[in-house]
Amino acid sequence: MVDVLENKRAATRFRVLVEIAERQPAVSQGEIAEAVGVTSQAVSEYIRELVDDGFVEKEGRSRYRVTKEGVDWVFQSATDLRRFTERVTEDVLGSVQEDAAIATADLAAGQTVSLSLSEGLLHAAPDTDDGGATGVTTTSAAAGDVVGVTGFEGVIDLDPGHVTVVQIPPIRSGPVEDAAGVADACEDAPSSPRRGSKPSPHSGTSASNRRRTSRRARWPPTRPPAVSMPPS
């Protein structure tokens, strides 16, 4: 368990030290108390402990500064928190994540379905047990309607796609001189794989990776976005 999540006091101690680092050297205990959600007296006690532990040094009346040891502790605690939240969002929540798909036939909730990608959208069909990607519906849906899917397993085969990148100068550089060229580049960008193209050896995607699959499923299949990039 991450140290700052062991109990409420550890979490509050971490937040008080972060607030001091943000406001130093002139520190208002009242402002910190309001930000953290405790009393000014409690903030005073936390600061006294942080000073005793060498994480904060007092420079004068209401003037404090976080020491190197305090900075190291905040950095390590923040790193532990980031790793913990990544594990929760990717491993824990990822296993129960629900995505939307287009039902190719009438489907009932709790039904195992085969998954495929067509024109950039995720489709769910009654499972044919063909060894492809599968999932389990979380809602019922009629053919052509949106259905919720979870419990992804297997790999979805993909045909090669295309990405068009258009360099656009920052707004402060003035209007785009070749606006027509940008429009033409977007219009000419292919909206779907070429007919007869063969998938590459790396054209599969794991259905268990819901975030990547859902991104592909929700991209508009008609026109790629123009990507704004600073001039080189």
pLDDT in tens, 118-153: 877 899 999 877 778 999 999 999 999 999 998 888
Any domain includes 165:
no
| Last-in-domain residue among 73, 93, 113 | 93
Residues in the chain: 232
**Domain-ending residue, one of 154, 172, 192:** 154
CA 229 distance to own-chain centroid: 21
Is pTM beyond 0.75? Reply is no
Closest to 149 measured CA to CA, from 214, 200, 231, 201: 214
Pairing between strand 134-137 and 155-157?
A: unpaired
Q: Is residue 79 part of a domain?
A: yes
Residues 9 and 56 in one domain: yes
Q: In terms of domains, do 107 and 85 share one? A: no
| pLDDT classification of 87: cutoffs 50, 70, 90 | confident
Q: Is residue 201 domain-resident?
A: no
How many CB atoms are closer than 10 A to CB 29? 20
Residue 158's pLDDT band (boundaries 50, 70, 90)? confident
What does the block give as tokens for 179? 């606006």
Answer whether residue 214 is part of any domain: no
Residue-range definition of the domain harbouring residue 127 = 99-154
First to last CA, the chain: 45
Say if residue 8 is in the same domain as residue 79: yes
Residues 6+ apart with CB under 8 A from 95: none
**Strands 99-103 and 146-153, bridge-based pairing:** antiparallel
At a CB cut-off of 8 Å and minimum separation 6, what does 173 contact? 231
Distance separating alpha carbons of residues 193 and 189, to the nearest angstrom: 11
How many structural domains are present in the chain?
2
In this predicted model, which residue has the larger pLDDT, 68 or 224? 68
Same domain, residue pair 150 and 77: no
Instruction: Please check whether residue 67 lies inside any domain of the structure.
Output: yes
- The answer, yes or no, to whether residue 206 has pLDDT greater than 50, is no
